Structure 1
Amino acid sequence: MTASPGPDATVVIPTHTERRWESLRRTVASALAQDLKPAEVIVVADHNPGLFERATRAFPGVTVLENTAIRGASGNRNTGAFHARSELIAFLDDDTVAHPGWLGHLASAFTDPGVVGAGGSIRPAWQRRRPRWMPDELLWTVGVSYAGMPTTATEIRNVWSASMMVRRGAFLAVGGFRAGFGKLGDRNRPEDTELCLRISAETGGRWMYVPASVIEHDVPVDRSTFRFFLRRCYAEGRGKVQMSALLPRDRQLATEQDYLRRTLPRAVARDIVAASRGHGGFHALRAATVVAAVVAAGFGGGVEMLAGIGN
């Protein structure tokens, strides 16, 4: 297929462990196969010389860098983005596969000069069957789009870095992702949400959600367990409290508050009704799962607030 013309866009893929080597190979191949040909594909190894050398040998025609910032996803992405010279910078995680139109659909949002960034739909690629206790509203816990998100191209407060595109000028203006804030090992903090809010505040620009831009995100077996689910909700609670402390008062967590007050209660009510009508016992499990998620996130937020007071 002949690549279609369009704005220059660089694709940055952060990686940190050889355990994801095969998925990294798939991610790189999907980036190179885009209908809109990337100006450059950049792989950044996070303080892992062996992985850096292996990627350098394995990916001809791809720029492979070593993270020059502190360890973690934020610094890793910044290293790649600061190297880019294109008008637009796109990010993919190393456990994703982008559909051929992914890059072009994201780039189409930037015909509006008021748009500073865009994100696309993230679909789960379950290694094992999806757990029946998992409600659609909580699919974010495995890093994919969830019920309640827009179904057409729509302005949105923030997008996810697993499938993100941003104007290079806006990204550089705020210094990129916040160093030291974000994913490191098993720790999760919403560095992508914080970046989106900071760019909007600095530039006055808007973010767009473009569901026609699609990637598949691996969901391994160990992320399909209830234990992982609770840990993820707990980490989200802590991370959102940490992020809130970084935001001005006029940019607090209204989206999260609406999700707690409207989206989740509707999910509980729906599944209780379905269970009571004999539509399957798993509906009762899904209602209970929502309650468990709120408790775990609330506990995590409380722990973080106590930690802040102690400091």
Structure 2
Amino acid sequence: MSANDAPAGPPVRVSVVVCVYTEDRWEDILAAVSSVRAQSRPALETLLVVDHNPVLLDRLTREYEEVTGVRVLPNAGPRGLSAGRNTGIAASRGEVVAFLDDDAVAERDWLSRFAAAYDDPRVMAVGGRTEPVWASGRRPDWFPDEFDWVVGCSYRGLPPGLVRVRNVLGGNASFRRTAFDLAGGFATGIGRDGDERPLGGEETELCIRIGRARPDAVLLVDDRAVIHHRVPEAREHFAYFRTRTYAEGLSKALVARSVGVGKGLESERRYATRVLPAGVARGLRDQALARPGGARRAGAIVAGVLTAAAGYVVGSVRARRNGTTFSQVRVDAPAEADPEAAA
């Protein structure tokens, strides 16, 4: 799939939304904003959405009160990432809304890679590649590349290049504004919405809804749109790995209930039947060649599959028993147009 199959329209304006929630990531937040401001293709604006933390809201407001192009605003919905993103969408003015994690920095051409793909009017979303930055300085030798999604990063098994996908990954993604007009915003009750358990899947559910609302929609990943995501030391341990894979199973059950098992698990079937078995074989081969961590990586893949499957079973039972539903929020464009862009 090429993003240049259709005639190009006028260049799109891109708003960047960074959702934040804790002062513990203060330096990370400043670095994320700096990376956006250093883009080769300037963002129309950067929106910092603060999730129900008045102290952080006040501190960021003072930090950026004299900085042109950076706005700080509170999450207008319930606590959680989905509502924060929806707040940013509603307040933004660009034709494209991009999302960057608060503990990540974008490479200089990140936005230019995204923007180029929107020359094709069918393109509704574009994601990029997220590289881990390990707090310890290097990847733990037991941690399989196939499970980098556990720490919010791109993982082995994703197709390379500029390719069409079912869904983008939310921490490094962009959406055409009209996609939200068609399908609504991020659903609350699926992702990280204030629960202590590290759930996810809200971007998958949204992307599937976009495809249903517009059957000819194209969703892409461009692995040249790169960000570097910090992985804290606490997430380098097997205890977090186990917790996160179990939570992913719970999330997949919720997504499947929302959009159906067929679509909800479409990509996961190939991952589970082809990518992961190959990863186990690679780990065992590395062990036979006396390479560090080979058997542990193979074991981690098996453990990850089993804990995710357990989470999916538990989540499915709970969803059926509780009749779980989700709020698919409508996000409206702001009342005022951007005066500088209109000039």
TM range (shorter): over 0.9
Aligned to 1:209: 221
* Residue pairs, 1:228-307, within 5 angstroms: 228-248=240-260, 251-276=263-288, 278-307=289-318
Contact kept in structure 1, 2:190 and 2:254, CA below 8 Å:
no
- 1:132-189: CA deviation from partner (whole Å, max 9, x where unpaired): 0011111111111111112211111111111111100112322211133311343312
In the TM superposition, what is the alpha-carbon distance from 1:39 to its structure 2 partner? 0.7
Higher deviation after alignment, 192-201 or 245-254: 245-254
Secondary structure of the residue that 1:27 maps to in structure 2?
helix
* Residue pairs, 1:1-311, within 5 angstroms: 6-59=11-64, 60-61=67-68, 62-128=70-136, 129-185=138-194, 186-187=196-197, 188-204=199-215, 205-248=217-260, 251-276=263-288, 278-311=289-322
State the distance in 1 between where 2:189 and 2:62 align: 30
In the TM superposition, what is the alpha-carbon distance from 1:279 to its structure 2 partner? 3.0
Output the aligned Cα RMSD: 1.4
State the distance in 1 between where 2:212 and 2:104 align: 30
The amino acid across from 2:109 in the alignment is G
The amino acid across from 1:213 in the alignment is A
State the distance in 2 between where 1:250 and 1:259 align: 15
Change (3 A) 1:281 1:101: closer
In the TM superposition, what is the alpha-carbon distance from 1:6 to its structure 2 partner? 4.1
Unmatched runs of 5 consecutive residues or more in structure 1: none
The amino acid across from 2:321 in the alignment is G
Change (3 A) 1:196 1:221: same
Contact kept in structure 1, 2:149 and 2:155, CA below 8 Å:
yes
Contact kept in structure 2, 1:75 and 1:180, CA below 8 Å:
no
Contact kept in structure 2, 1:6 and 1:36, CA below 8 Å:
no
The amino acid across from 1:96 in the alignment is A
Contact kept in structure 2, 1:55 and 1:64, CA below 8 Å:
yes
Secondary structure of the residue that 1:184 maps to in structure 2?
coil
Identity score, percent: 40
State the distance in 1 between where 2:141 and 2:262 align: 39
Secondary structure of the residue that 1:11 maps to in structure 2?
strand
Could you tell me the TM-score, scaled by structure 2's length? 0.86
Higher deviation after alignment, 8-17 or 281-290: 281-290
State the distance in 2 between where 1:162 and 1:174 align: 20
The amino acid across from 1:170 in the alignment is A
The amino acid across from 1:308 in the alignment is A
Give the total of aligned pairs: 306
Change (3 A) 1:310 1:176: closer
State the distance in 2 between where 1:215 and 1:143 align: 11
Contact kept in structure 1, 2:32 and 2:104, CA below 8 Å:
yes
Aligned to 2:4: none
In the TM superposition, what is the alpha-carbon distance from 1:267 to its structure 2 partner? 0.9
In the TM superposition, what is the alpha-carbon distance from 1:26 to its structure 2 partner? 0.4
Secondary structure of the residue that 1:111 maps to in structure 2?
coil
- 1:24-66: CA deviation from partner (whole Å, max 9, x where unpaired): 0000111111111111111010111111111111022211111
Contact kept in structure 2, 1:70 and 1:180, CA below 8 Å:
no
The amino acid across from 1:234 in the alignment is Y
Could you tell me the TM-score, scaled by structure 1's length? 0.95
Secondary structure of the residue that 2:258 maps to in structure 1?
coil
In the TM superposition, what is the alpha-carbon distance from 1:305 to its structure 2 partner? 2.2
In the TM superposition, what is the alpha-carbon distance from 1:275 to its structure 2 partner? 1.6
In the TM superposition, what is the alpha-carbon distance from 1:309 to its structure 2 partner? 4.0
State the distance in 2 between where 1:179 and 1:171 align: 15
Contact kept in structure 1, 2:257 and 2:319, CA below 8 Å:
no
State the distance in 1 between where 2:27 and 2:229 align: 14
Change (3 A) 1:297 1:248: closer
Spell out structure 1 runs of 4+ moving beyond 6 A.
Answer: none
